[in-house]
Amino acid sequence: MAAIQKLLNIALPPLSLVLLSSFMIPFLIFKVLIYVRKLFQTDENGRRGAVLSLVDIREDNLVVVAEKARSLGSPDVIIIAADVSKLQDSRRFVDQTVNHFGRLDCLVNNAGIGKPSGFKDWSNASEFTSIMDVNFWGSVYGTLCAIPHLKTSRGRIVVIASALGRFPLPRFSIYSQASKAAIINYFETLRMELGCAIGITIVTPGLVKTDLGVTLIKKERIMEIIPMLSASELAESIVKSACRGDMYLTEPSWVKVLFPFKLLYPQLVDWASRLFFALSPKINNSATELKPE
């Protein structure tokens, strides 16, 4: 077995370079053809009468959203109070939606909470378990309950992750590396398992002007130099991307140029990130002891 491992270590790196080079031109041609096809596709307009089921842990948060949707032309909007981090609530909102509309065509996993903080700021386990419960399990539970209905309609899942899940930064360990990276990996695996039965669009936004984004800026002033995307601009891009059947959407698109650097030059990215956030190169042993919930 050791000899086989040694052989693979020697043979696979040069072989992979040859394969990558040989696939590059055909793959680029394929990507160009896909891009041209999308240019001639008619984007679904959000004002064309989509019926909506809006879910939030607080029902009163949805009233204004529902009224806005109706004013834009939605013929039927229902609101459901549910905690998506609980399996029974997720099953209930899916069942209520299907019972009301008779079908389910698209599930948008958008629930998310978080705060900018490094490992030394975490002293209570319940602080980060709640983030994983909402950000990760809140998407997984609803998806598992919706899959049978989405298979029937050959529908689509849209999951809102984060660019931080692809390009982690200091002081966002639980939010980005844990919850958002977990979401990306889970839904990429699910896409392979489901095949063509259900489409999955994974959204990795940059800095968005939401309550969470504004809180981030207030805590990390250095982030003010990064331009923020409005929530409405992101929503419009998501609708167009999902209707085109995209596998991925990163907005703003310039954020995508960062991802290869993390893969190819991890040492450089780590050094630049520490410099950007003014982190000391010395080991910090001041972290408080983690306490159970």
Active site residues: 175
| Cα(112)–Cα(27) distance, integer angstroms | 35
Rg of the chain's alpha carbons, rounded to an integer?
A: 21
229 strand-pairing partners: 208
What DSSP letter does each residue of 39-87 carry, written as one string?
HTSPPPPTTS---EEEEESSGGGGHHHHHHHHHTT-S-EEEEE--TTSH
Residue that is written with structure tokens 């109070």 in the block:
81
Residues with Cβ within 8 Å of residue 55, at least 6 apart in sequence: 62, 79, 80, 81, 82, 84, 93
Q: Quick check: helix, strand or coil at residue 102?
A: coil
Given a contact cutoff of 8 angstroms between Cβ atoms, the answer to whether 239 and 47 are in contact is no
| Cα(116)–Cα(154) distance, integer angstroms | 38
The secondary structure of residue 204, as a DSSP letter, is: -
